[in-house]
Structure 1
Amino acid sequence: MTDSAPAGDDLVRVLATLSNPHRLRVVAALTRGRTYVSQLARQLDISRALLQVHLKKLEAAGLVSSQLELSEDGKAMKFYEMKPFSIHLTPESIADAVETLTDEKGSSR
């Protein structure tokens, strides 16, 4: 997501994703650089299972990306990193985004 006006559905998805304190902590931690799940879980003092849930939501919203890599001993490690994004909200940008919202049936309003 860039500074350009986001489509309404994208804006709702991103804001809903970022409305969770755990996910905000994940974003903050990943701004320091890419890391793998176990290290990030220790850093944030949460379980790997809970962290995976939050990382999947952040990835689905397009805010983080992941890459599976093999360690020297052949162990699969999933690394995550932030994707660049910027959200600038104004009443006008929200009004523009509302015009592109789809209803539950998938049609534009």
Structure 2
Amino acid sequence: MTGDDLVELLAALANPIRLRIVARLAGGRQYVSQLAREIGVSRPLLHMHLQKLEAAGLVSGSLELSADGKAMKYFEVTDFDVRLTAAALADAADSLTPPARKEQT
């Protein structure tokens, strides 16, 4: 995992709603409407948080059709394991993308 990947992952988890989402999905996959009700947020807000978690590689989504032909988006937790040690953080810091420098005029 690169430093940039680690920053993205930690940023994704640094939100109480996203932590609740991961906790709920740890119990098994769920479709968006059910998850929104259980978390207590609107579907648009849930989608925003799910996109952040998906970009960080923490959850994955799949579109499925129900028996009555209704499209349902299911999400589940991906298989991830993050161990934060001083050495792991030092390695990650060494691989961070350097910040952009402003050109001097």
TM-score by length of 2: 0.92
1:1-80 equivalence runs, <5 A: 6-80=1-75
Structure whose alpha-carbon radius of gyration is higher: 2
Amino acid aligned to 1:66: G
Would you say how many aligned residue pairs link Structure 1 and Structure 2?
Answer: 100
SS at the partner of 2:96? coil
Unaligned runs of 5+ in 1: 1-5
Q: Provide the rounded CA distance (Å) in 1 between the counterparts of 2:99 and 2:8.
A: 14
Unaligned runs of 5+ in 2: 101-105
Q: Name the CA distance, whole Å, in 2 between partners of 1:12 and 1:23.
A: 15
SS in 1 for 2:73: strand
CA distance in 1 between partners of 2:24 and 2:59 (Å): 12
Q: CA RMSD in A?
A: 0.9
Output the TM-score relative to the length of structure 1: 0.88
